[in-house]
Amino acid sequence: IIGAVGSWRDITDRKKAENALRESETRFRGIFDNIAMGIHLIDTSDRFFAANDYLLNMLGYSIKQLFAMNIHNLTAPEDRMTSDEVNEKIHRKEIRRIAYEKRYIKADGSRLWVNVTVSSIRDNNNRHIGSVTTVEDISVRKGVEMALRASEERFRTLADNMSQFAWMADPEGWIFWYNKRWYDYTGTTLEQMLESGWKKVHHPDHLERVVKKFKHSCHTGEFWEDTFPLRSKDGEYRWFLSRAVPIRDENGVIVQWFGTNTDITERLEIEKELKHRTEELAAANRDLESFSYSVSHDLRNPLALISGFVRFLIEDYSKNLDTEGLNYLRRIDDNAKKMQSLTNDMLTLSRIGRQEIKRIDVNLSTTISNFLEELRSTEPDRVVESLIEDNVHAYADPRLIHIALENLIRNSWKFTSKKEKTCIEFGTISIDNNTVYFIKDNGVGFDMKFARKIFEPFKRVHSEMEFEGTGVGLSIVKRVIERHGGRIWAEGDINEGATFYFTL
């Protein structure tokens, strides 16, 4: 080597360009790898040649797995036609950028809803050399949308098939939706209703009141209810019960009103007829009670006269009569007394229905004990065992409840008269958290098939030859109990005694 020849060429601009390119590549990789969105690049044959970690994590593929696929393989079959059409348009330069929704197939085979933005990559000669796609996971949003759509569909199905009219209004009270039942009945359309058609559907005599009352509820947020007639497409007016409740957001602000209209025309007609029948029945009962009272009251004096004159005949003229004549007089006297007892019971029964109820605290235990002591004094030789629960009180009309208890106790006393030992019990039990009073005896009892009959007037289970009585006593008890808003029932077995239960 005897020397060297060298040359210098200025490459400053090239180095600057290389450095700029390197810096640009570094910035791109920084964004590409760290952006919170999936990104992939495909070439003109739709094969992947770049993808960021966010996309790989989103779909569950490795970079090697993804590079072995093309965009057609990654797209769900139901969306491939749309995806292929988009790619074809980008290849043909019909579009440069497009955004749309589709489903990608994840590595585990499941579907993932994504929003993709596909942009064409072109060289300096405007030739398409590939595309870059940004991928946004919208599965949560699509899930919410599908759930909302399903919920909306269920609501529409329910609303259109319910027997009632349904409607929705804005916070100011303007109705913007009606269900199918409304249109079937009124023959209107939504457009007509949004204008002034609703005024023609409402009866003019009620329209102003209905609007004013609903506007007031919209202002106060209170539950709304009203009754008014609505006109059908045939021109007939039917009555409806309308109700509406406010729908509030998470802050408690009213965002909508949901209302229903229920056809109550038949119900009102039934109620009107029932009211009319009730008034007729009440009038008939008053007439019957008045008749019973009048008959019973008017019979008392003639019966008393008959009994009096019969006693005079027996006392003053018995010497002039033979045995058969005296027997006739005694039978007349006995039957006159029975008639007097019957008229007294009928008077009691009619008075109970008209008497005003005045309730006070009544000690039932003391009342029953007193009744039993009176009965013991009339038959001191009878063996009687009584079990009276202490301090049983009731809020009742003292006079009426005394009548009922006296009849029940006398009933037990009478039907235990043929027993060697009389047992009478009074106490309380609880049924469905309600106090139930009972009077139980060990008397002749009755067949349960007559359990209802014994409370009907003049209906007797035992013959008058066995046990005397008018057959009205238990009817009086039933009337007293019912006047107190309670009920009475009986249980018994033949020769095994009876138990009378009642509530107040």
Residue 453 has a pLDDT of: 79
The whole-number pLDDT of residue 330 equals 81
> Regarding predicted confidence, which is higher, 464 or 483?
483
Among candidates 238, 212, 243, which has minimal Cα distance to 225?
243
| Token pair in block for residue 407 | 């009849």
Mean per-residue pLDDT for 331-348?
Answer: 69
CA-to-CA separations, 351 to 84, 225, 285, 345, 399, in angstroms, rounded: 96, 43, 12, 10, 12
Percent of the chain clearing pLDDT 90 (strictly above): 32
pLDDT computed for residue 124 by the predictor: 84
Q: What's the maximum distance between 2 C-alpha atoms anywhere in the chain?
A: 195
Q: Is the pLDDT of residue 324 over 80?
A: yes
Lowest average pLDDT, out of 186-200, 284-298, 475-489, goes to: 284-298
According to DSSP, residue 447 is labeled -
What are 167's two structure tokens? 């409607």
The token pair that represents 80 in the structure block: 């491939």
Return the pLDDT at 486.
Answer: 92
**pLDDT, mean of residues 464-483:** 74
CB 393 within 8 A of CB 428: no
Q: Cα-atom radius of gyration of the chain, to the nearest Å?
A: 48
pLDDT grade for 480, boundaries at 50, 70 and 90 = confident
Residue 201 clears pLDDT 70, i.e. is over it: yes
User: For position 484, what pLDDT does the model report?
Assistant: 87
Banded model confidence at residue 103, pLDDT cuts 50, 70, 90: very high
| Average pLDDT rounded to a whole number, residues 173-198 | 87
- Tell me which H or E stretch contains 265: helix 265-317
Each residue's pLDDT tens digit, 364-401:
999 999 989 988 888 888 888 999 999 999 999 888 88
Q: Does 465 score more than 60 pLDDT?
A: no
CA dist 337 and 461 (Å) reads: 22
CB-based contacts of 203, cutoff 8 Å, min separation 6: 228, 229, 230, 231, 237
pLDDT at 178 over 80: yes
Q: Evaluate if residue 229 carries a pLDDT over 90.
A: yes
Q: Given strand 254-263, what is the order of strands in its sheet?
A: 175-178, 165-169, 254-263, 237-248, 224-231
Stretch among 47-51, 345-349, 477-481 having the lowest mean pLDDT: 345-349
pLDDT of residue 342: 64
Q: What digits encode the pLDDT tens for the residues 398-450? A: 888 888 898 899 889 888 888 889 999 999 999 988 999 999 999 888 888 87
pTM exceeds cut of 0.75? no
State residue 15's pLDDT score. Answer: 87
Assess whether pLDDT exceeds 90 at residue 16. no
How far apart are alpha carbons 98 and 343 in whole angstroms? 103
φ and ψ of 499, to 5 deg? -130, 130
Closest by CA position to 394, among listed 270, 287, 490, 502:
502
Q: Mean per-residue pLDDT for 357-362?
A: 89
Query: What percentage of the chain carries pLDDT values higher than 70?
Result: 89
Q: State the DSSP code for 319.
A: G
pLDDT(153) > 70: yes
Residue 113 has pLDDT above 90, yes or no: yes
Decide: residue 347, CB within 10 A, 0-12 exposed, 13-18 middle, 19+ buried. Answer: middle
Under DSSP, the state recorded for 75 is B
**Measured between alpha carbons, how far is 461 from 445 in angstroms, rounded to an integer?**
10
Tell me the C-alpha distance between 470 and 488, whole Å: 20
The chain-wide mean pLDDT, for the chain, equals 85
pLDDT computed for residue 328 by the predictor: 82
- Confidence label for 318 from pLDDT (cuts 50, 70 and 90): confident
Three state DSSP letters for 429-487? EEECCEEEEEEEECCCCCCHHHCCHHHCCCCCCCCCCCCCCCCCHHHHHHHHHHHCCCC
- Spatial distance between the Cα atoms of 185 and 259, rounded to a whole number of angstroms: 16
In this structure, what token pair is assigned to residue 269?
């007609």
Q: What is the pLDDT of residues 127-151, one digit of tens each?
A: 888 889 999 999 888 888 888 888 7
How confident is the model over 17-55, as pLDDT tens digits? 888 777 777 777 666 777 778 999 989 888 998 898 899
